[in-house]
Amino acid sequence: MPVNPKKGEREDAFIGRCIAEEISAGYEQSQAAAICYSYWRKDKMSKIVDPTAKVMAKVAYDTDFRGINLFAEDGLENACWEGYVAIGMKELDGRMVPNCVPESENMQEQGMEIDVLGYKTKNFTLCPGAVATFNHLMEMPLGEDTVGMIRSAAQVADNVFGIEREVIEKGTATEEQLKEAKILVEDFKDIMEEIDEEVMMQHDVSYMDGHIAKIESYL
């Protein structure tokens, strides 16, 4: 059952009491905290009288918690509702939770080439994960330096996928191709780390390791 704030109870007191109850119900601490903050937000939202403020609060709540299955049995990590996909993590009330976005919104063109801030990809058909990552990045407000880094990251990733495409078409890979791909992937991860610092998010780009494994399988 939901844990409700008591009359006059302060936020920190409620969150502490609620987390203890949710942990006793079987949830681990970070998941319990996310659940309790959602209870607190809902309670405060229910008490807003001004119609405009109420709508704005609901929009903010729906944005923060959209697609997240707070009550997932195996914890919050990648706990998105069906029809949503986790594109990295985001901070919510001091806790890291999955950044759940609709598949139809970010992967509707799955497998198709995209225009990344002026750079038109050539080999992204091999990586729906990269399509989703860059579509998500392009939805954010970006500074000029960040735009340049995102464009560079897309080019580096595209080169990795280009090596993979060539390997698949020839049916064999060389040590030189594998070495080049590994260097490019490390460069890509370094750039993405800088981008994540700028946009204050954490994008999971571990899918790049799968492309290295694919190339290596053709040796």
DSSP codes, 92-139: ETTEEEEEEEEHHHHSTTTTS--EETTEEPSSGGG-HHHHHHHHHHTT
Domain that holds residue 114: 107-216
211 in the same domain as 114: yes
Q: What pLDDT is stored for residue 51 in this prediction?
A: 82
Q: What pLDDT is stored for residue 52 in this prediction?
A: 81
Domain count, the chain: 2
Q: What pLDDT is stored for residue 205 in this prediction?
A: 92
139 in the same domain as 175: yes
Q: What pLDDT is stored for residue 23 in this prediction?
A: 93
123 in the same domain as 67: no
Q: What pLDDT is stored for residue 107 in this prediction?
A: 46
Which of these three, 53, 76, 102, is where a domain ends?
102
Which of these three, 102, 137, 167, is where a domain ends?
102
| 10-residue averages of pLDDT along the chain (219 residues) | 89 93 89 91 90 82 84 81 76 76 55 85 89 90 92 96 92 94 95 93 91 93
117 in the same domain as 77: no
123 in the same domain as 43: no
Rounded Cα–Cα distance for residues 184 and 137 (Å): 20
149 in the same domain as 169: yes
Q: What pLDDT is stored for residue 98 in this prediction?
A: 81
Q: Find, among 61, 63, 57, the residue nearest to 100 by Cα.
A: 63
181 in the same domain as 139: yes
CB 123 within 8 A of CB 174: no
Q: What pLDDT is stored for residue 103 in this prediction?
A: 66
CB 3 within 8 A of CB 39: yes
How far CA 210 is from CA of 21, 23, 57, 129, 206, in Å, comes to 41, 36, 41, 11, 7
204 in the same domain as 132: yes
Q: What pLDDT is stored for residue 105 in this prediction?
A: 53
200 in the same domain as 142: yes
